[in-house]
Amino acid sequence: MSAFNINNLPQNEPNKIEKPLVMLVDDEIENINVLRQLLESHFKIITGLNGREALNLIDNMVDPKQIQLIITDQRMPELTGVEFLERVVEKMPDTIRILLTGYSDTQVIIDSINKVNLYKFITKPFDPVELTMTVQRGIEAFQMRKELAEYTENLEQLVVERTEELKQKNLELTQALENLELFSLTDQLTSAYNRHFLNKFMPGELAKAKREIKDNQPSDIGMLLIDIDHFKYINDTYGHDAGDKVLMQFTHMLNDTCRQSDWIVRWGGEEFVIITRGLSIDNLQDLAERIRQKTQAYEFDLGCQRSVCRTCSIGITSFPFIKGDVESLTWQQTLKLADLALYAAKNSARNTWVMLYADKISAQENFYEHAILNLQSSIERGVIGFNSQLRKEQVVF
């Protein structure tokens, strides 16, 4: 039965303050009911069971721009959430758009950001408090943008009479609004992804890995933890501005070396994480070696006709660490093993890479705690294997 009803269309009532109008679009009525119960005390709700039905409702409204915010599911029949929002943005460019989905697809995220100017991407199951606060902030952003637009229109009529101070104030208000609406997933200095990006989207990658293992099409998630050798010397000798230049150029070099589908994340300070999909152990080692060689050959420009050369150390693992078993270790624990490999690389000679991988190991063995406390013993017992650009006798754990 269609959820479209002419009574759903908003009707203005005199002398009554209207609640902000929010549209919910989902092909599962249970999901709409959950969202309605969560939001209806503070917002006026209209609903559609799919994208076409919601567009029909919008087309029958006297003023569809009354809709301040739309929450739509991604997976729906006829039109996906992104396809629906592409049409919405043409009709109501200022409406806040939130995409709700039960899976994480990097391309969907990129498409939704680029095509529909997405306000936020929320994965299921969602946290009710987080979703409610996101909607409230989205409504605030919509209203602030509307107020700013009206203010700007009036300002244009008075620009000749008003002072430069008012012009500057308008610029400050515009910048404040842009900062409020900005949903940043990148490191401000290097433009690499930040930890927030990794924490947000890694669960979706793990869910994808579980599905692939279930379908007998496993595709490991490679993890490279990279540290610039003797980076502190640059800051101490040339200043932090010089260190920032090195970090930006190093990130640019990583982008040139990695695939477009790889994630380059600034983990903190001079440490970077690279997340890959579908690379074998040999491929991961080849990637690490290319990064090592390019770093060693790179001449970092510090400005004022100064330059410096540096090397890097790399620790490598892949998830799931135990092949075919995504439950025995979390991705954070797997990255911790990459950190141990990085420590071994730096402790041995620097300018090298060390890879840890599962060897004679089963999911039942309590190996992780032992590896953290005594990695050398785990390697000697053959529980964990390792490779390195160095000879094995040169590697110190």
Residue 270 annotated among the catalytic residues of the structure: yes
Task: Given the residues 150, 270, 327, 393, select the one marked as catalytic.
Answer: 270
Across 155-183, b (16+ Cβ under 10 Å) vs e yields: eeeeeeeeeeeeeeebeeeeeebeeebee
Nearest to 249 by CA among 308, 313, 190: 190
All structural domains of the chain: 6-181 (3.40.50.2300), 195-394 (3.30.70.270)
Task: Find how far residue 169's CA is from the centre of its chain.
Answer: 33
* Whole-number Å distance between alpha carbons of 144 and 296: 50
For the stretch 151-204, pLDDT in tens is 877 776 666 566 667 677 777 777 765 554 345 788 889 999 999 889 988 999
Contact 108, 82 (CB under 8 A): yes
For the stretch 233-285, pLDDT in tens is 999 999 999 999 999 999 999 999 999 999 999 999 999 999 999 899 999 99
Nearest to 115 by CA among 81, 77, 149: 81
For the stretch 120-143, pLDDT in tens is 888 888 899 999 999 999 999 999
Contact 297, 289 (CB under 8 A): no
At 241 the pLDDT is 94
* Whole-number Å distance between alpha carbons of 54 and 9: 11
32-36, 57-61, 150-154, 267-271: range with lowest mean pLDDT: 150-154
Nearest to 245 by CA among 293, 333, 195, 308: 308
* Whole-number Å distance between alpha carbons of 335 and 368: 12
For the stretch 84-94, pLDDT in tens is 999 998 889 89
For the stretch 278-334, pLDDT in tens is 899 999 999 999 999 999 999 999 988 899 999 999 999 999 888 877 888 899 999
Confidence band of 392 (pLDDT split at 50, 70, 90): confident
Measured CA to CA in angstroms, residue 139 lies from 21, 22, 132, 333, 357 at distances of 9, 9, 11, 39, 48
